Amino acid sequence: MDQPQQIRLNKFLAERLGVSRREADDLISAGKIAIDGKPASLGARVDFSSKVCYNGKIIPFEADFLYIAFNKPVGYVCSRRAQGDTPTLYELLPKEYRKLKTVGRLDKDSSGLILLTNDGDFAYQMTHPKFHKEKVYEVTLDRPLEPLHQQMISDYGIMLDDGPSKFTVVASAGGGAGGTPAARRREPSTVGETATTGPAERTHLTVILSEGRNRQIRRTFAALGYRVTALHRTKFGPYQLSGLKPGKYVTIKA
């Protein structure tokens, strides 16, 4: 007879509670998790016959995971609680989706694709730097980006307080934040203007990166004397907005 399939406890908790594996380990270390009536230990494994409890409540072994893609409008935060007068994006979602956690964040002044799920393992794989999930943003600056600065960011990186920041910057062939990057993406230009990439196009940019540090794009351009006036995410890993209107969502498959 086949033996029951076992999985690591922190993976089980991440998937069922919608937390990261590190957060799951913290719960175990804090003594909040029990297996079959005994305090759980780091590295433990469980199967469908295990009785796993969190603060005394049983966590079912089987779980229904949900994944949605949401087009966040400007003016909303990604936290569960409103920040002062600033509303939270959860106010735009049906009640049954308000327990989902955002996969990463977009700040209040940014818009575009945000993923939400109750699958902590999915969130971990989408956000941990080692998985290199590509994200694409349409960015508008307050003035044209100097070609030398574009090359500095893309080729060498800009030193910030939390380390170097390096990502690909592509001048867009018309349009602004919120457009379709595939229709406008070009190879990064060399130093110097070209006949097809003028100052107007150098204000509207496509940024491609695989990191996800706090306000990284805004801070990188600010270090060079630019202000980001619009930032709109259009792609996150394999997921794209694909015409989804602001404030609307669709369910997706992991």
| Average per-residue pLDDT for the chain | 86
Tell me the C-alpha to C-alpha distance, in Å, between residue 237 and each of 32, 84, 126, 144.
Answer: 34, 32, 7, 28
What's the rounded Cα separation, in Å, for the pair 148 and 38?
61
Looking at residue 127, its amino acid is: T
What pLDDT sits at residue 219?
97
pTM exceeds 0.85: no
| Cβ atoms of residues 180 and 173 within 8 Å | no
What pLDDT sits at residue 199?
60
Q: Which domains does the chain have, with CATH numbers?
A: 7-58 (3.10.290.10), 67-127+243-251 (3.30.70.580), 134-236 (3.30.70.1560)
Beta bridge partners of residue 88, listed in sequence order: 77
Told to judge if 107 belongs to the known catalytic residues of this protein, a careful annotator would answer yes
Query: Which of 107, 109, 155, 161 is an active site residue?
Result: 107
The count of residues in the chain is 254
Give the model's confidence band at 193: pLDDT under 50 very low, under 70 low, under 90 confident, else very high. very low
Q: Is the pLDDT of residue 78 over 80?
A: yes
| Cβ atoms of residues 194 and 158 within 8 Å | no
> Region 104-125: what's the mean pLDDT?
91
pLDDT in tens, 220-249: 999 999 999 999 999 999 999 988 999 999
> Region 116-141: what's the mean pLDDT?
90
Query: What percent of the chain shows pLDDT beyond 90?
Result: 61
pLDDT in tens, 14-51: 878 877 789 999 999 999 999 999 999 999 999 888 99
Which ranges constitute the DSSP H helices of the chain? 9-17, 21-29, 120-127, 147-151, 181-184, 216-223
Give the model's confidence band at 186: pLDDT under 50 very low, under 70 low, under 90 confident, else very high. very low
Backbone dihedral region for residue 109 (phi beyond 0: left; psi -120 to 50: alpha; all else: beta): alpha
The residue ranking higher by pLDDT, 46 or 80, is 46
What's the rounded Cα separation, in Å, for the pair 62 and 215?
37
Strands 228-236 and 111-117, bridge-based pairing:
parallel
